[in-house]
Amino acid sequence: MLPPIIQRNYGKWKSHKIIEAGVIEHIGESGERLYTVRAGTPKIISVHGVRDMCDLADKYCGGHLKFTSRTNIEFLVENEKNLAPLKAQLKELGLPVGGTGYSFKTIIQCPGWLHCHTAIIDSPGVAKALHDALYEHFFETDMPQKLKIAVAGCLNMCGAIHCSDIAVIGMHRRPPVVNDEIVTKSCEIPTLIASCPTAAIRPKGKSVEVNPDRCMYCGNCYTVCPGMQIHDPRYDGLSIWVGGKATNARTQPMFSRLAMPYLPNTPPRWPETIAATKNIVDCWLKGAESGERVGDWIERIGWEQFFAVTGIPFTDKHIDDFIFSIPTFRTTTQFKYTETPVVK
């Protein structure tokens, strides 16, 4: 059930205004005002944490609250006088009030090592480290545009990872080791063979074998069959992708594209990935015009300049060689010269 003030103004809101970081004032055609106080949450919350949030909602919001599509919590406050004490109590709880307007947004993350058999990295851990590194940007409202970052444990990418300003994705780098016993006992061979995007799996006796020249270690075979053992902490790592957006706002939706093919998997804080992400964010903050998402900025300056200003090496891995490669090739003499040496 919706709070009475929302029921009264349902479908009859006139406008809204961000009055400070994390606080949006909604103004009804009736003249009534409702404030939403947005606080970042860890998404993984114990029942104790949920009850703490309920206590605040009971005290300041008549027992009403909502969550957002980016796992934030929003308190629905009618009385303006409750804003300050609510914010103070949220601060005590360790929940930051912000993430509104042109700010760094709460990171979308999968459950990673807390739940998932295919997770190569611990997305919540990486997200936490990134949240900490970019913390002060959560309280801004005036960056060039929104900054939406997502972390995926593997290529299943559970979330809108493929359309994020910056995405961090766990990756394998070697083909799976086939455990014939498990494959023959537990797996449907046709399903397993069909699960491979590059037709790298073929029957071998009652089991299968993997063509190492075709396998690009996506891990989908492991998803459908536990006998395709692909986890390998010696070689598994992270990758960084940039320039995606899901919204139609001003410019069209875009995919995230490869920036860095491999960074080491170094829990608990993944310093290399954090530093690399910070570098990209800082370059965007310096170079973007007002209103430009990361992808808009890159499209304007050109991808060759993106690699130049960030200092990220451009490699053979950046050039697409899968099924939709041709439309990504530059079929024009219009390019900018850059100083960055090409690294093999």
Instruction: For residue 84, state whether it binds another protein (rule: CB under 8 A).
Output: no
Residue 78 phi/psi, 5-degree rounding, is: -90, -40
Q: Is 51 or 286 the residue whose CB approaches another protein more closely?
A: 51
Q: Is 57 or 260 the residue whose CB approaches another protein more closely?
A: 57
For residue 254, what are the CA distances in angstroms to 77, 127, 259, 299? 36, 22, 15, 10
For residue 193, what are the CA distances in angstroms to 189, 197, 200, 201, 250? 6, 9, 8, 5, 43
Cα–Cα dist 309/311, whole Å: 6
The H-or-E segment that residue 210 falls in is: strand 207-210
Contact letters for another protein, residues 169-208 (x by CB under 8 A): ----------------------x--xx-x-----------
> In terms of Cα–Cα distance, which of 41, 42, 252, 69 is closest to 148?
69
Among 8, 81, 91, 115, binds another protein (CB under 8 A): 115
Instruction: For residue 111, state whether it binds another protein (rule: CB under 8 A).
Output: yes
Instruction: For residue 271, state whether it binds another protein (rule: CB under 8 A).
Output: no
Instruction: For residue 54, state whether it binds another protein (rule: CB under 8 A).
Output: yes
* CB 12, min distance to another protein, A: 8
Q: Rule CB under 8 A: which of 303-322 touch another protein?
A: 322
- The 8-class DSSP code of residue 245 comes to B
Q: Is 124 or 310 the residue whose CB approaches another protein more closely?
A: 124
Q: Which residue has the tokens 């050039």?
A: 319
Instruction: For residue 251, state whether it binds another protein (rule: CB under 8 A).
Output: yes
CB under 8 A: which stretch of 78-86, 127-135, 245-253, 273-281 binds another protein? Answer: 245-253
* Peptide bond connecting 268 to the previous residue in cis, omega within 30 degrees of 0: yes
Q: At what angle do helices 271-287 and 303-310 cross, to 10 degrees?
A: 120
Among 21, 22, 23, 26, binds another protein (CB under 8 A): 26
Q: Is 158 or 285 the residue whose CB approaches another protein more closely?
A: 158
Q: Is 167 or 281 the residue whose CB approaches another protein more closely?
A: 167
Among 4, 8, 10, 316, binds another protein (CB under 8 A): 10
